[in-house]
Copies of this chain bind each other. A is one copy, B any other.
Amino acid sequence: MASIAILGYGVVGTGTAELINKNKERFKKITGEELKLSNILVRNIEKHKQKKNSKILTDNFEHILKSPVDIIVEVMGGINPAYKYVKKALASKKHVVTANKDLMAEHGKELLDIAHENGVTLNFEASVGGGIPILKPLMECLTGNEIVSIKAILNGTTNFILSKMYSENMSYEDALKIAQDLGFAEANPDSDVLGYDAARKLSILSTIAYDKKVNWKDIHIEGITNIDADDFKYAKANGYNIKLLAISRKEENGIFASVQPVIVDKNSELSKIENELNAIVIKGDAVGDVVFSGKGAGMFPTASAVFGDIADIIQNRNKRSIQFNSENASIQTLYNYKSNWLIRIKTADKINAMCNLTGNFKNCYIFKNELNPKDEVVAIIKEETENDLNCKLQELKASSHTEYIKKFLHIK
């Protein structure tokens, strides 16, 4: 028998409890193992008294730790007290399953080490891509590959907002409002719209993929708060869509890692990942591109991943968790492959800006006047590295006529 405690009884905790109870019989039939939901830790028992499983609620973590529970599922979210609890659980030789990307991005290395020292497993499939199987396939199925690159839509909130802006020509503000009304965005959406959530997930994925520590704070992070309806107008006019992509790539001298809005071909597979869906494209040197997509959040999709992690522990009791390398990757923040760029220059001197662009760039297509206002030059620049692009735009950027320059990388 496997005895399970859940820390947290919010959306994911509720879904996990339900999946455990629902799957008991089938799981026993297939594996011969009995599942028992022993405890659910909540802060305020009164608040949850009306819910299912009210008899096993507790507000005492130490009580769970001392009980004969085998697996502790942490679905509280946030760093505190999750960090303290998971550490104690592992040190007490309890297996742990967590859905907590903040925790794993911040303290994954330490927690996996503690799991290792104590001969227990720490699984965290739900921390990236929600219900999409991605960490186990990456760690186990693709282990014969050197991972070359990752490009992914890892945040459902921002993808929902950008999808609305694309398909319904909405403003950022209106799209965010709808996302909040539908429960896809929180009242304080900062961690999503500023790109932090995606960066944490990218850091977990990249740390595993390249076997070097990719600190999320070292990643170049740009959110979607500056994207406006005109960006979409210009992107569309060229057959592009705009997506917030998390990208990383093995380079000679380190790892390029970035979360930023990019333009993608409107018929590309990533453009077709709509609304709250997530997608991860992993390129391995042997397998080529492999794409995983599905629901990156939500009660049952997340609980599906948590349940898979629980089953993994029960069926492979002696398995060792992966360890994160302690060696920090040297993070590159410029995209130094020859790429195409969409550029918007807000300027009081269009003529000068256009001359500057055509003088500096061999392949530069300036948008016709009717599309853009009289104080803006919009262009597609082809085959430039980010470094060269920045250098060649420096003079324009420094000009007193230039209000701002906005640029979008094109990702294939």
| Chain A interface residues (CB < 8 Å from chain B) | 15, 19, 23, 26-27, 30, 125, 131-133, 136-137, 140-146, 211, 267, 269, 272, 279, 284-295, 300-301, 303-308, 311-312, 315-316, 318-320
| Inter-chain contact A287/B291, CB cutoff 8 Å | no
| Inter-chain contact A131/B300, CB cutoff 8 Å | no
Closest 5 CB pairs of A and B: A144-B307, A133-B141, A133-B137, A290-B294, A131-B287
| Inter-chain contact A294/B288, CB cutoff 8 Å | yes
Q: How far is the CA of A266 from the CA of B2 in the complex (A)?
A: 48
Separation in Å of the A313 CB from the closest CB of chain B? 11
| Inter-chain contact A300/B286, CB cutoff 8 Å | yes
From B141, B269, B292, B304, contact of A144 by CB (8 A): B304
Separation in Å of the A372 CB from the closest CB of chain B? 28
Q: How far is the CA of A185 from the CA of B316 in the complex (A)?
A: 40
CB neighbours of A286 from chain B (8 A)? 15, 19, 131, 300-301, 303-304, 307
* Known contacts A19-B286, A136-B136: A315-B319 contact under CB 8 Å: yes
Q: Which residue of B lies closest to A145 (CB)?
A: B304
Pull 18 A–B residue pairs with CB atoms less than 8 Å apart, ordered by A. Answer: A23-B144, A125-B141, A131-B286, A131-B290, A132-B287, A133-B141, A144-B306, A144-B308, A145-B304, A286-B301, A286-B307, A287-B294, A287-B304, A289-B294, A290-B292, A290-B295, A291-B294, A316-B316
* Known contacts A141-B125, A144-B19, A318-B318: A295-B287 contact under CB 8 Å: yes
| Inter-chain contact B290/A290, CB cutoff 8 Å | no
Separation in Å of the A73 CB from the closest CB of chain B? 12
CB neighbours of A289 from chain B (8 A)? 294-295
Q: How far is the CA of A146 from the CA of B29 in the complex (A)?
A: 14
Extra contacts, 14 of them, besides A19-B286, A143-B308, A286-B300 (Cβ < 8 A), are A131-B288, A132-B287, A133-B141, A143-B307, A144-B307, A144-B308, A144-B311, A284-B304, A287-B304, A288-B295, A290-B292, A290-B294, A290-B295, A291-B294
| Inter-chain contact B141/A290, CB cutoff 8 Å | no
Q: Which residue of B lies closest to A318 (CB)?
A: B318
Q: How far is the CA of A129 from the CA of B241 in the complex (A)?
A: 30
Q: How far is the CA of A320 from the CA of B311 in the complex (A)?
A: 13
Q: Which residue of B lies closest to A130 (CB)?
A: B287
Separation in Å of the A95 CB from the closest CB of chain B? 15
Q: How far is the CA of A319 from the CA of B19 in the complex (A)?
A: 24
* Known contacts A136-B137, A292-B292, A293-B290: A144-B272 contact under CB 8 Å: no
CB neighbours of A304 from chain B (8 A)? 141-142, 144-145, 284, 286-287
Q: Which residue of B lies closest to A298 (CB)?
A: B288
| Inter-chain contact B316/A300, CB cutoff 8 Å | no
Q: How far is the CA of A27 from the CA of B140 in the complex (A)?
A: 12
| Inter-chain contact B300/A287, CB cutoff 8 Å | yes
Separation in Å of the A292 CB from the closest CB of chain B? 6
Q: How far is the CA of A285 from the CA of B18 in the complex (A)?
A: 13
CB neighbours of A303 from chain B (8 A)? 144, 286
Greatest chain B CB density within 10 A among A211, A288, A311 is at: A288
Q: Which residue of B lies closest to A317 (CB)?
A: B318
Separation in Å of the A13 CB from the closest CB of chain B? 15
Q: How far is the CA of A289 from the CA of B273 in the complex (A)?
A: 12
* Known contacts A136-B136, A272-B272, A294-B290: A308-B131 contact under CB 8 Å: no
CB neighbours of A294 from chain B (8 A)? 287-291
Q: Which residue of B lies closest to A310 (CB)?
A: B144
Separation in Å of the A134 CB from the closest CB of chain B? 9
From B267, B269, B290, contact of A133 by CB (8 A): B290
Separation in Å of the A32 CB from the closest CB of chain B? 10
